[in-house]
Structure 1
């Protein structure tokens, strides 16, 4: 009964936990910015609390007489703190501006991280403590470690899949951020009550004194290398998640719904892998050899997923050209394509943690401590992977080669374990596996890479232009390609027409979009009696900001979230009058909402020309809150605000 209630509670905890993560990330993204730097700092702060909580929870888990009841109290505490997080996020802009003012560069990134830590450290620390304490509650003997912890791990991830789907596709769109947060709070309260009820039944757990000779460590002797590999695999898994999200969303469409589909597919694979590992871990004689095989399989499956990305546009093309396609059908197709790329690798990834835990736990008396240490180290690795993917791999290798590097880390980890397997494993098996690792390295390094024109073709938009694309799907010439921190940017050309794409979506051209681009820059300058200070949100081809400069203002500030878009605009110098060479222009790399929130300047003219509202991150520039913020930053007497509104992609009620 206790085990059943614990599993039910941890499943619901997964639903609430992932819902909290998604909605808190949105709250904080609006408060401190939606740039990749800001999102990476939010992720690091979130996972840092998880790591800290895992370590602290592990230290106390083995001393608890009623660990399930203690787990229930933790969940109730998470619910109580969870109520306050949105309100803390609302207070951030005022506190941030008062304490730090207008800062930039590294200082701004550091302040954002500190702000995120202050808001998230308490609830995430409580969340991190749950696994080691619950593991202690359900594991009765050492021989069932793999089954019990693997099952908990899989059940929690299955709940996270449900949470991601409900939050992304239903709760947030229909209930809003605060309503969704309230749902997660309610679920966590239910979890806490279930666990308290289960923990109150039966006799208290016997807490045995630990042998002083064993008290210095909770990790099995000789298994510290596996703990170290947990850090490596945590970093690789998180790097692949970040890069896969960028890669797949560029191919199938960078909407918030596509992001939810990717998260669901990723977590589904982990849950399946954890469930499989829970059934085999305790009966596996050579855990090291099994782990090496799983690591190799992960690397190869990741490479398969990387290669499949190159074919996603061709597959999606057949879907979107279907005249009977519904929005639900599109979402289902997006999930299926994401699953095709992700799940072979994530199923293998999901088996790594249960197998590793089984290998490193040395005694039942210190089981909670061992789980806490292993989980904390794995999470620290994930933090490193999150930062490294954005700030190291993308700038130096790009998305595709960065993914190959992460896949290589799994194969290298497998190769290391080949030479550290148990002594009873025949050497021939180890050598064969090592040879397979060498072959896998060769395959990953020799792969030809993606067709950039096809990857960024934007076929998810074909439903609007069926007649053109149903004939002959011809690739345009790619003049420029760069994987930026926030987006993938390309400039393409066909029949003497050039256009700039952001994540596969055209954001301006040298012909068809020219009237819109020119008028957006010139109209407010014509109607204002004396425009001196102008802000333009969104670069695109640079024609709009170039038009604004023709109105002879004294200062113009161009704000764009992605630096590579500004670089891509150089290919439109004939149309935009090369605004970057004008000394009156200042270019700021930030999201428009956060820039205005931090700025103390009153502008004569603000031009907002962002991408489509369905693009992830762009919707915040079409809200009442943004328009209110913009109104506070225009001159109260003669200030003008111009918004390019894409009515053709807005529902009538909006």
Structure 2
């Protein structure tokens, strides 16, 4: 590959091929992060991304191959590199607008992301496809086979560098916009190397202009305010896009563009979202422990609680503040979420709080503790770790619960209709393992929402009236009468599968929710400004 007497080096066409491989694969991985907040990150989204990139590259290879003999020059390589970089600048400035503008096409849910992916990433990938056949034409090699072999090898090595560099270096440390800037400037820098040492006037001015365009594109959204409020922290983690925004006295944690947790900046332990109030429902479902009718709240027989999924630590913070006898363990797979909860959501070291970084199932398998309550808060609307949904996982959770222990799952789905498939399948799966399963939709309508599914080891089923009576009698620090009335006693599960480790079609069950709005109900604040 460009061997000389002074050692191994890339000549200019080979350098362009290498960088095009880096950029195309890097943009492909970055596409997943850009598209996920609007369309999710299911297998259908990733399949669409891969398919569009392959199609665009193939079309570029074909067109470039037809034109290479007559048009291939170093100056044409520069034009292709700069045109791609300019489109990257457009993605930085207008990517969100383009995503929203293409979200309304009347397509089946599994294909919903295709128009956006084609618009955002088809053109730059198509342009990058021209570079390989042009470079093969320009390489000083003997024969078509040797030139093609060099192009394939160099381009593939570039793709490997782009894949590993983007995955393990760029995404964990930089924002999406800055990563786009890195790729754009890499393309501009490569164009200048191809022009060097002549640096003719018009191409050089074009390179400088595109570089300024890229830098300017970063400045536009950097004011730190969006429709979600003032952005106080934003990053890419190995698992998701993470953003913390302040709006109207409320701090909200967004994961892949979806609201996950919120905190009232004036009353940090107040429940901002309605669904988090349901975390206390299991305290009304236990039989053991001492209960009284005093005004002092306590958790009865619930002494140790595990939250699988930390988020903004709304539940753990409230349990620690409300119940002096409760020890709270939290296992969160994303270390950045843990760091953000400490820096922005007031989570401090506490003798009754144990935070673990790891996978929830692995933690349950390895822990020597048993729990009175396990809260599953690790599901998203579009991305659910299937190994936390199956019969085998439910059996593991049951075995880690005390005799009257309770499993609580925060499921995001619709109560009925096609968008309810995941919820009803999870309900049926829990019924395979636990004697009693209860369901509490939180939004009061047939929309995609938080549905709280509670499973107990008690053979006797509690009625709505019995739960209301316990709510009046037990002092748990929060009135759940309105939440109890949402109990759904008729969940149809005959047409959905039981989820098992060897057969858990979670992506297919989540598919009907694609493109539907996720409704997160805010907790009602009373006249004094407080809410439970």
TM class, shorter-length? 0.5 to 0.7
SS at match of 1:615: coil
CA shift, 1:391, in A, is 3.8
Is residue 360 of structure 2 the alignment partner of residue 582 of structure 1?
no
Aligned to 1:621: 388
Aligned to 1:344: 123
Aligned to 1:536: 307
Distance 1:502 1:453, change over 3 A: farther
> Residue 490 of structure 1 contacts residue 568 of structure 1 at CA under 8 Å; is this kept in 2?
no
CA shift, 1:609, in A, is 1.1
Aligned to 2:411: 645
For residues 43 and 239 of structure 2, the distance between their equivalents in structure 1, rounded to whole angstroms, comes to: 14
SS at match of 2:370: coil
For residues 595 and 268 of structure 1, the distance between their equivalents in structure 2, rounded to whole angstroms, comes to: 42
Distance 1:585 1:641, change over 3 A: same
The within-5 A match list for 1:291-370 is 291-312=77-98, 314-315=100-101, 319=104, 328=108, 334-360=113-139, 362-364=141-143, 367=145
Q: Deviations over 1:384-409 (max 9, x none)?
A: 32333244334544210111111111
Aligned to 2:196: 419
Distance 1:447 1:558, change over 3 A: same
Q: Say which is worse superposed, 536-545 or 603-612, in terms of deviation.
A: 603-612
Q: Deviations over 1:155-199 (max 9, x none)?
A: xxxxxxxxxxxxxxxxxxxxxxxxxxxxxxxxxxxxxxxxxxxxx
CA shift, 1:589, in A, is 3.5
> Residue 538 of structure 1 contacts residue 609 of structure 1 at CA under 8 Å; is this kept in 2?
yes
> Residue 236 of structure 2 contacts residue 242 of structure 2 at CA under 8 Å; is this kept in 1?
yes
Aligned to 1:383: 160
Q: Deviations over 1:283-332 (max 9, x none)?
A: 34x53332222222221222223322132355257x3xxxxx7552x655
Distance 1:437 1:625, change over 3 A: farther
For residues 326 and 413 of structure 1, the distance between their equivalents in structure 2, rounded to whole angstroms, comes to: 41
For residues 334 and 544 of structure 1, the distance between their equivalents in structure 2, rounded to whole angstroms, comes to: 34
SS at match of 1:541: coil
CA shift, 1:441, in A, is 1.2
> Residue 307 of structure 1 contacts residue 450 of structure 1 at CA under 8 Å; is this kept in 2?
yes
Is residue 23 of structure 2 the alignment partner of residue 244 of structure 1?
no
CA shift, 1:445, in A, is 1.5
Aligned to 1:265: 52
Distance 1:508 1:554, change over 3 A: closer
Distance 1:291 1:478, change over 3 A: closer
CA shift, 1:359, in A, is 3.2
CA shift, 1:647, in A, is 4.7
For residues 341 and 596 of structure 1, the distance between their equivalents in structure 2, rounded to whole angstroms, comes to: 42
User: What is the RMSD of the two structures over their aligned residues, measured on CA atoms?
Assistant: 3.8
Q: Deviations over 1:209-250 (max 9, x none)?
A: xxxxx9x99xxx996443344333322322222223212322
Aligned to 1:486: 239
For residues 362 and 525 of structure 1, the distance between their equivalents in structure 2, rounded to whole angstroms, comes to: 78
Which one of the candidate residues 250, 258, 263 is aligned to 1:505?
Answer: 258
More strand by share: 2
Which one of the candidate residues 164, 177, 181 is aligned to 1:404?
Answer: 181
> Residue 223 of structure 1 contacts residue 360 of structure 1 at CA under 8 Å; is this kept in 2?
no
Is residue 282 of structure 2 the alignment partner of residue 523 of structure 1?
yes
CA shift, 1:282, in A, is 2.9
Is residue 188 of structure 2 the alignment partner of residue 435 of structure 1?
no
Using CA pairs below 8 Å that are at least 6 residues apart, which structure has the higher relative contact order? 1
Which runs of no fewer than 5 residues in structure 1 stay unpaired? 1-54, 56-213, 320-324, 421-426, 458-473
Distance 1:235 1:223, change over 3 A: closer
Is residue 374 of structure 2 the alignment partner of residue 603 of structure 1?
no
Distance 1:333 1:526, change over 3 A: closer
Distance 1:374 1:531, change over 3 A: farther
> Residue 44 of structure 2 contacts residue 111 of structure 2 at CA under 8 Å; is this kept in 1?
no
SS at match of 1:506: strand
Distance 1:401 1:607, change over 3 A: same
For residues 342 and 302 of structure 1, the distance between their equivalents in structure 2, rounded to whole angstroms, comes to: 9
Aligned to 1:105: none
For residues 594 and 407 of structure 1, the distance between their equivalents in structure 2, rounded to whole angstroms, comes to: 40
The within-5 A match list for 1:21-32 is none
> Residue 237 of structure 1 contacts residue 382 of structure 1 at CA under 8 Å; is this kept in 2?
yes
For residues 30 and 148 of structure 2, the distance between their equivalents in structure 1, rounded to whole angstroms, comes to: 28
Q: Deviations over 1:130-151 (max 9, x none)?
A: xxxxxxxxxxxxxxxxxxxxxx
SS at match of 1:281: helix
For residues 453 and 327 of structure 1, the distance between their equivalents in structure 2, rounded to whole angstroms, comes to: 35
TM-score when normalising by structure 2: 0.63
Aligned to 2:292: none
For residues 629 and 277 of structure 1, the distance between their equivalents in structure 2, rounded to whole angstroms, comes to: 56
> Residue 487 of structure 1 contacts residue 503 of structure 1 at CA under 8 Å; is this kept in 2?
yes
TM-score when normalising by structure 1: 0.53
CA shift, 1:526, in A, is 7.5
Which runs of no fewer than 5 residues in structure 2 stay unpaired? 264-269, 290-300, 425-494, 497-532
Task: State the aligned residue count.
Answer: 397
For residues 378 and 590 of structure 1, the distance between their equivalents in structure 2, rounded to whole angstroms, comes to: 36
The within-5 A match list for 1:30-429 is 224-284=11-71, 286-312=72-98, 314-315=100-101, 319=104, 328=108, 334-360=113-139, 362-364=141-143, 367=145, 371-419=148-196
For residues 587 and 360 of structure 1, the distance between their equivalents in structure 2, rounded to whole angstroms, comes to: 57
SS at match of 1:499: strand
CA shift, 1:567, in A, is 4.2
SS at match of 1:241: helix
